[in-house]
Structure 1
Amino acid sequence: MLPDEPRQSTEPSPEGGLPGCYRHPQTATGISCTRCERPICPQCMVAASVGFQCPECVGNGQAGARRATTRFGGALTVDGGLVTRVLIGINLVVWLLAAYVLRPRLGEVWSLASAGRDEPGGPFGIADGPDQWYRLLTATFLHLEWWHIGMNMLVLLWLGPPLEEALGRLRFLVLYLLAGLGGSTFAFVVAGDWMNSLGASGAVFGLIGATVVMQLRNKGPLAPAMAFLVFNLVVTFSRPGIDWRAHLGGLALGALTAFGLMYAPRERRALVQGLAVAGAVAVEAAMLWIGMALYGA
């Protein structure tokens, strides 16, 4: 017992023969803790579902309680759309810089550009080696036209919060980044001999794929998500100048990552989800290696 701790007392107090509180022996009380049965005064009692408990029992109970999580293992938060809004903010800031402040320099150094070794001046961009691989990520935050960022951010604002609330902030952010990188690496392995594209569409398509997976997992209405996916695929292949490779790569990696995150069994959730993320990273690394073998120095 520490020197400054009040001593427990089982002696009856002078007040009506009632025992003294175990923390305040001079305070008579007729209430006992429902767990340890020690006498507790109004200053110490904590309301419980049945009766009252002492501070120590309440603290021990909270320490042993399981942390509440989302259905897929993420930490519960009051604000389920914080990461979504942060991502939208980053995209908007980069757009303003690239379109109005650092134009055209930022667009040149951040785009998903690549020229193979057989092209004049090649290899260039991603095909030039690890010093240029940052483009695989920076291109997913780069937009030059208002309509381009407007469409992507509207979809992100619509699909992001429900996924973030279900997965938790960290898992949602990992899903978004892996989908974006999946779109970039697939575009590189298919067209890395000569390409130049940009935009968050790969990551956004990954969220569309993840939404389909979530509806399947939750046994929710699937038709709206599938209709939205089909509509975006029709737009992708019917309009010129759209990088369909980034869209398909993001869709595939987003859906596969979401499948691993959402179908992981509860008893081995952390392990299975970690393997799913590692598997997605391995697939993207393999595509990058294949692209470098095809187009690099």
Structure 2
Amino acid sequence: MTARNTLIAYTFMLPFLILLVVYHTWPVIFGTYLAFTKYNIISPPQWVGLANFRELFADGQFWSGLRNSLKYILVVPVIQIIAILVALLVNRPLKGIGFFRTAYYVPVVTSFAVVGLIWNWMYQQGGPVTAVLGFLGLPQNGSFLNNPATALYAVMFVTLWKGIGYYMVLYLAGLQGISPELEEAATIDGATRTQVFWNITLPGLRPTILVCSLMSTISAIKVFEEIYVMTQGGPAGSTYSALFYTYSRAFVDFQYGLAAAAGIIIAVISILFGLINFKLTRGGKVDA
């Protein structure tokens, strides 16, 4: 009976498993193989061993892109802190709170092509951002996206603005999963709001923090869409990311082996930062 039920279960799962193998498992295996070959899609792959990795390590453009991708991780703690604060704000039973929850989430469902065009206009000389800076008496050095010193941080701010709503929803779900009796008991015992937050709310959010920080860190390391839409890696390579390097090698230079090798390095770095996230959040375990 158990074997029959197992067979039925796997029969229902079969269509999904086939799609998983075709569109995920096989590309990973084939991409790993390509990392050790010279391949330009026209000629068959030629095994070259570690030659692609040696070329990457000697390529200053790859290291520049990798540095920018690692610098992009600065977005992660900022976006998580703001998302938690916004989730705490919209978790209150206030009048019209549904409108604010929706308003914070609107950027998430907006296409990045649209978001990129809007922020390109806002950042340009004479746009709203420079106008506000001028009104406040702050210095203006032309468009933020045309200045190598500010371009990457300008793109990072757009990522921050667009992603807050997404993580807010996840943290809101986490907050609503924390027993209100615990907070009420702590308040009755004389704990302040700050003490309740640090000793009950934040530990209760630890599993959500782990999930959100993992997703945010991996997205930061693999940043591409924002760069492609807003700057194309410029100016002067100041926003050139590791994944943009992979894209350029594969779809501009048709060096698929080199691109696959870069992809493996990015994946390994993502795994390492994932392990760091597990360590910092204690594996997402809630204190007993």
Q: Normalising by structure 1, what TM-score?
A: 0.23
Q: Which has the larger radius of gyration?
A: 1
Greater percentage in helix: 2
Larger RCO (alpha carbons 8 Å, 6+ apart): 2
Q: Normalising by structure 2, what TM-score?
A: 0.24
